[in-house]
A and B are shown apart, each in its own frame.
Chain A
Amino acid sequence: MRPVKRYWTRRLGGAACVVAIVLVANFFLFRLMPGDPVATVLDPRFSPEAKAQLEALYGLDQPLGVQFLLYLRRMATFDFGLSFSTQRPVLEEILERLPNTLALLVPAYLLSVLLGTVLGVIAARRRGHLAEKAVLAAGAVSFSFPSFFVQMVLLLLFAYVFPVFPLRGSLSIPPPEGTWRILADRIWHLALPVFSLVLLGFGGWALTVRNLVVKVMGEDFMILARAKGIGERRLLWGHALRAALPPLLTLFLLSLPGVVSGAVLTETVFSLHGVGRFLLDSVLGQDYPAAGGAFYLLTLITVGSNLLADFLVQLADPRIKTGGEESR
């Protein structure tokens, strides 16, 4: 078998194992958690017999083995069943919320990375200068402030004291008429949450990029490039940043699942109807099908991001071999 093929067979096999382990853990962990969806119904007007009916409705009256087999079949076919709390198909629930979450997270994440990268490179280039100190300080503040606090302050400032942005939601009430007006209204509603996420997210990137670029700038090949008379700008953006690209790509892709789950607080503060909040509600409400489906998708995103990171890193850095004799 060729090394490349062998490498990818191994990686894909590993990924499948991870998915399988998470699938099993997903099923049993939720059931090992204290309480169950019926036990937490605390209403003295609900008799034990009515609770038994509810258990049957949720399918919890079946033996655990039967429940497990049904769960495996559902995960394999992407039919996650009906959510306990909404009684709607879980996939439908997730897909309904996904556009809101993507509209929030994609621009926020890309802008954070872009801003962080630019500022990180500037800081690396201007070592010891005010620019570097400013970026380091801003990065540290952005990186370390609790998101909930920052978002509440922003909401207070820009939606209450200076009412430039709306206080809540993704649409005005009543909504405007016409496609373009609705689009503009949605952008207006998303501006503050996106801005808050950029504010909270760029710092980590700036610090990472700065550190990586500073390290690369001291490498022999950079000294050689400088000696060959390559301009400072090309040196920095063309050589240093490219050399720092593999770890940045890995970080970029591996942060994706965390970004999705990190949307919980933002969606709560700005009253947005997204996947993050759905995930939290499902876990808190012990909604097994919803939590199982959401975590399964999150696992697929994580594993997929990992594989994609491996692939892109190889493309970005030809020095990285793909296993076999060549890698030693």
Chain B
Amino acid sequence: MGGFKRWLAGALGALAMAVPLALPAQGAGVDLERIRGPKVRDLYLVVVRDPDAAILALERGKLDILGDVTRPSDIRRLSKDPRFSLSMAENFHMAQVGFNLRKFPWNVQELRRAAAMAIPRDRLVRELFSGYSAPLTTFLPPVSPYCDKSAAAPGLDAEGARALLKKAGWTWNGSGILVPPGSKTPLPPATILSPTAGVAPTTAELADRIAAALREIGIPVKAEPLDFAAMVQRIDERKFDLYLMAWQLGRDPDSLYSFYHSSMDVRGGYNQTGLKDAVMDGLLEALRYSPDEPAARKAAKAVQKALADRLPIIPIYTRYSVAAVSREWKGAVVTKASAADNSWSLLSMEPASGRERPLYWALGDEPRTLNPFTASTATDWQVLGLVYDTLLAVNPNDLSDLPWLARSWKVETMAKAGAPKTRLTFSLRGDVFWQDGKPFTAKDVKATLLFLKKHAIPRYFDSVRDIESVTVPDDRTVVVTMKNVSYWHLHSIGGLPLFPAALLDRIRDWRSWQPSRTPLPGKTGLTELYGTGPFVFRESKAGDFVRFTRNERFWLIPR
């Protein structure tokens, strides 16, 4: 590429990168103590499946909050519109290239390292995402409290990559293709699997460009776009060389165990790269069974350091979350880790004019089911999350644990008789009521945990499988003893939605239960879809909207 072209590409890239900087300053921290709500009386979750229609609806005033704005053109358009306030936050999204370590040459560490050094992440992100994503070198998304930024994959250094390979004895044939040490045969052609351009245009383009970058250092790779299900099947059957895939991870580093422990290289497991390493297994087990937070943090750090050495994957980029809110509303909660479309915003938002009116929040898809036992999509839980509450909440400022229905908690390791076990003790708030008016007690927590365990409900299976016993010393205390030791049990149990014990007793078949369609006997306007959450479910018009009203008994409403 000529000098001018290179300058032009750089200038255009810099211009594109400048766009996110034009967005409103991001919230560094929100005083959660001051949030008292919800303030809004009527809430409509409006179903708009088509992203173009969603943008038009927002602009026509038919929506007040629109989350998950992903297309750079939409972000630019909305950021120029004075009627909206745009917020951008870091995300648990993580796109990565995985190697099939079960076969040569991908099981050769220096080749993987050289590949990581050949990929120009910054340029790719700049050109393909106009700056609304960030290049990634870490093994957890940087927003994760457990991300160790010092344990990173190497950055762009194509010359360094060549030098590294040369030092290890690799050579290049006349066509510039790598020849392994001690061999005369060049590397065979390989492919990098990716979704098709029809499904994920930027990912398909990204795979193409990554392949081109790898060819630059002599690795003969071509992109192989596939239907998503076909791609997953190829990876499951371990019939691949490399793949490009994006994940939406969570706050905790538990994904590391799933991705890299040798026991997870089985059917249905997520160790897709096939990493089998006794040292790594030991580190991952230490992480999974850490007795407390400091030990967990230390173990997470050690795992990430080991991954940076082994490089079973190359992290590529992480996407930002972008949300738009109408300026007719004030009080949206925006932090570094959360754009405005979050449940805290729903607690604190109120009309800027002071005149009461319903709030319209976009649902990007139709909720498939409002049965909390079978609901699995993000859309389902965008609805259900307004009704059901948990023992612990996540602080949107720093992603730490926050007291919610549990006023306080204790994590202990019991080692009196037999194998050590984790014991969780939750002290519950005394001012929480179910939406039918009955008080929320420790018996409800116990009933929920035992119900989920007894029925082995897939969605909750991993959270409750290790429960050994649940005891209720009094109405405000729950003690959960687990079969083994793990600090993460706190988040597994503390993050479960809670159901009224009286209701659980009545459920005959959890699978076909349709709470939103079953009126609650003796309670006009209520259905069996009720909890302790900030909003009361009122009705769902399939394809159109889900309507809620404020839960006047919600404990965060000032009395």
Contacts and interface: CB of A to CB of B under 8 A. Distances in A.
Interface of A: 33-35, 38-42, 44-54, 57, 82, 85-88, 96-97, 100, 152, 155-156, 159-160, 163, 167-171, 173-175, 268-274, 277, 286
Q: Which applies to chain A's interface (DSSP): helix, strand, loop or mixed?
A: loop
Given A97-B542, A175-B541, 15 more contacts: A34-B229, A35-B233, A39-B232, A39-B268, A44-B255, A44-B270, A51-B268, A85-B376, A86-B374, A160-B59, A160-B60, A171-B544, A173-B44, A268-B49, A273-B47
B184 interface: no
Contact of B369 (A50, A87, A271): A87
B360 A173 contact: yes
Interface in B450-490: 456-459, 461-462, 465
Contacts of A156: 56
Nearest to B57: A167
A86 B369 contact: yes
Contacts of B270: 44
Interface of B: 42, 44, 46-50, 52-53, 56-57, 59-60, 62, 227-230, 232-234, 236, 247, 249-250, 254-255, 258-259, 264, 266-270, 358, 360, 366, 368-369, 371, 374, 376, 456-459, 461-462, 465, 511-512, 514, 541-545, 547
Contacts of A41: 376
B249 A44 contact: yes
Contacts of A100: 543
Contacts of B44: 173-174
B461 A48 contact: no
Nearest 4 pairs between A and B by C-beta? A273-B543, A35-B229, A34-B230, A48-B268
B374 A53 contact: no
A159 B54 CA distance: 12
B511 A159 contact: no
A263 to B, nearest CB: 13
B543 A47 contact: no
Given A44-B254, A44-B255, A268 B50 contact: yes
Interface centre among B62, B230, B234, B369 (most CB of A within 10 A): B62
Contacts of B228: 35, 40
A155 B47 CA distance: 17
Interface centre among A34, A96, A170 (most CB of B within 10 A): A34
B458 A39 contact: no
A35 B46 CA distance: 32
Contact of B458 (A40, A54, A270, A274): A54
A44 B111 CA distance: 27
A152 B55 CA distance: 12
Contacts of B264: 48
A41 B123 CA distance: 32
A44 B247 contact: yes
B237 to A, nearest CB: 10
